[in-house]
Structure 1
Amino acid sequence: MKNVYVLFGKNSTLEVEDGKYGGEVLGYFSSYEKANAKAQKINEEWLELKILEVSVE
Structure 2
Amino acid sequence: MTREQRRALLGDDVVNHIHQRIDEAPDAPDDAIEALRRIFARPATRSQPVPARRAA
TM over 0.5: no
Say which one has the larger Rg.
2
Q: Flag the structure with higher helix content.
A: 2
Instruction: Give the TM-score band, short-chain normalised.
Output: under 0.3
Q: Flag the structure with higher strand content.
A: 1
